[in-house]
Amino acid sequence: MSARVPPPFPADTSLELRPAEMERLVRLAMDRIVPHVDSLSAQRAADTEGAAALSRSLIEREPPETGAPAEELLDLLFDRAIPKSFNPASPGYLAYIPGGGLFPSAVAGLVAAAANRYTGLFAAAPLLVQLETNVLRWFARIAGYPDGAGGFLSSGGSLASFSAIVAARCDRLPENFLSGVLYVSDQAHHCLAKAALLAGFPARSVRVIPTDDAFRIRLDLLGAAVAEDRREGRTPFLVVGNAGTTNTGAVDDLDALATLAAREGLWFHVDAAYGGFFLLTERGRSRMAGIARADSIVLDPHKGLFLPYGSGCLLVLDAATLRRAHGAGGEYLPGMQSDPDLVDFCEISPELSRPYRGLSAWLPLKMHGFGPFRRNLEEKLDLASYAAAVLARREDVEIAAPPDLSLFAFRFVRRGDREDGLAARNRRILDAVNARGRVHLTATTTKGRTLLRICVLSFRTHRDRVDAALEDLAAAADEAAAG
Ligand SMILES: *Cc1c(COP(=O)(O)O)cnc(C)c1O
């Protein structure tokens, strides 16, 4: 009777941190995170000088076999990598669309990853899924949608737009959908053309409709294009309205678009990635009147709700349209829910496994309530109209697009300058402002004009920083005029 000696199965337990090791790691990280966040207002609004070359010094081709101390890795992040970038979390970042970075969301990310529950399926984490579904219920309410609406959180506006186009395609076109045509304005975000391509439409299926002097879609030209496409045997099925364009912040006449879409039997989608959360304010609701008539709406909580990147949202008026576009079963999966209050995100979105995104919205919204968000957004509207009014007082400034919300576009002009001279002059002014580092602005070139933009959207941006932007712009413009 020889008792078999069990094989040793050597266990490497170094991936299972002991409590003291966990505490130490979090403390080390906090020792870097807290001073970093606390000093955001003193940091440059962007600093990428030499960054591309420095990034080459980080190239590493061999996977490391052994570990390095966490201190060293955090130093690499905080001393070298993080500083060399745009700083969308800075109060001076008035470029593109500013980012946020609410601290409670960062903590939510830590909690979500540490618990690592599975939220793609209702059955796998019913209570956690319900908390995320609440966030979507709140967003639907803010959009003015009735019960019966649905939606999901995505990685961003681009992916949400993709699902919107697929939902519209499934709802309005036959399986063989290549005769379908969709309409966007010449100010639409490029993610819509990309989403159409991903959804299977050749480039010729996307009709680009000109805008008026206020950068709003020309309804007469839209109507004419729809009629022409029908005459030629194509199938118009979708029109996109803008609730705050990235170029100049323009909000289309959403109510009129909704009426046209209803008359023509088109799916009406609203891209409110930038502007949507201004629906929390009275002014935003009046600017975006008609948005609740949309079949689908894209919002970006990582813009107007100040969340960290990785948070977009698609809302649809009729939740069933998402299920029809994304539903697919697997033999190995548990049963899906049929009660509309219990949502399986994998049935209504492209993802199965997914991060627990909802928590980074849920935690700050529950901790603070919507009140502070509403007041912050009111302030951003005020700051943008204030900045535009101050600039408009200068004789050498042309406000090309006054703020519909918190973004506007303008340029410095000089009599006698041709278009290319004006573009060069404005680029010089932009570079001079950005070189000072207190604020970061960007330009856009649309309809043949190079325009400077100011977008106020960070919860960290207040009057002092907008004044700094105005001072630096005035100084740079006076210098350019003298030079
Ligand atoms: C930011 C933005 C998008 C794209 O969203 P991502 O989250 O960057 O993918 C789409 N439309 C508008 C108007 C935007 O401002």
Place 241 in a pLDDT band, splitting at 50, 70 and 90: very high
Q: pLDDT per residue over 401-420, tens digit each? A: 999 999 999 999 998 889 89
Question: Same structural domain for residues 237 and 335?
Answer: yes
Question: Same structural domain for residues 289 and 317?
Answer: yes
End residue of a domain, out of 368, 393, 415: 368
The predicted structure's pLDDT at residue 415: 87
Q: Would 81 be classed as within a structural domain?
A: no
Full-model pTM: 0.97
Q: Would 172 be classed as within a structural domain?
A: yes
Q: Would 9 be classed as within a structural domain?
A: no
DSSP secondary structure letters along 419-435:
HHHHHHHHHHHHHHHHH
Question: Same structural domain for residues 301 and 183?
Answer: yes
Q: Would 424 be classed as within a structural domain?
A: yes
Residue 319 near residue 150, CB atoms below 8 Å: yes
Q: Is the CB of 252 under 6 A from ligand 1?
A: no
Q: Would 169 be classed as within a structural domain?
A: yes
Q: Which two tokens stand for residue 28?
A: 């080390």
Nearest-CA residue for atom 12 of ligand 1: 273
Q: Is the CB of 300 under 6 A from ligand 1?
A: yes
Question: In which domain, by residue range, is 208 found?
Answer: 109-368
Q: Is 9 exposed, middle or buried (0-12, 13-18, 19+ CB in 10 A)?
A: exposed
Question: Same structural domain for residues 309 and 433?
Answer: no
End residue of a domain, out of 308, 334, 368: 368
Q: Would 31 be classed as within a structural domain?
A: no
Q: Number of structural domains, the chain?
A: 2
Tell me, in angstroms, the distance from the centre of ligand 1 to residue 31's CA.
33
CATH number of the domain within which 343 lies: 3.40.640.10
pLDDT exceeds cutoff 90 at 260: yes
Cα atoms in the Cβ-side hemisphere of radius 13 Å centred on 187:
24
Question: Same structural domain for residues 147 and 252?
Answer: yes
End residue of a domain, out of 368, 389, 413: 368
Place 7 in a pLDDT band, splitting at 50, 70 and 90: confident
Question: Same structural domain for residues 171 and 266?
Answer: yes
For residues 98 and 8, the model is more confident at: 98
Mean pLDDT for 325-336 is 88
Give the C-alpha separation, 79 to 457, whole Å: 27
The predicted structure's pLDDT at residue 8: 84
Q: pLDDT per residue over 34-64, tens digit each? A: 999 999 999 999 999 999 999 999 999 999 9
Question: Same structural domain for residues 240 and 378?
Answer: no
Q: Would 69 be classed as within a structural domain?
A: no
Q: Would 96 be classed as within a structural domain?
A: no
Question: Same structural domain for residues 233 and 326?
Answer: yes
Question: Same structural domain for residues 315 and 166?
Answer: yes
DSSP secondary structure letters along 69-112:
-HHHHHHIIIIIITTSSB-TTSTTB-SSS-----HHHHHHHHHH
Q: pLDDT per residue over 84-141, tens digit each? A: 999 999 999 999 999 999 999 999 999 999 999 999 999 999 999 999 999 999 999 9
Over the chain, what is the mean pLDDT? 97
Tell me, in angstroms, the distance from the centre of ligand 1 to residue 347's CA.
24
Q: Is the CB of 158 under 6 A from ligand 1?
A: yes
Question: Same structural domain for residues 131 and 168?
Answer: yes
pLDDT exceeds cutoff 60 at 68: yes
Question: Same structural domain for residues 275 and 384?
Answer: no
Q: pLDDT per residue over 195-221, tens digit each? A: 999 999 999 999 999 999 999 999 999
Give the C-alpha separation, 109 to 231, whole Å: 52
CATH number of the domain within which 441 lies: 3.90.1150.170
Q: Pocket of ligand 1, candidates 194, 245, 274, 299: which has the most ligand atoms within 8 Å of its Cβ, to mutate? A: 274
Tell me, in angstroms, the distance from the centre of ligand 1 to residue 459's CA.
18
Question: Same structural domain for residues 223 and 332?
Answer: yes
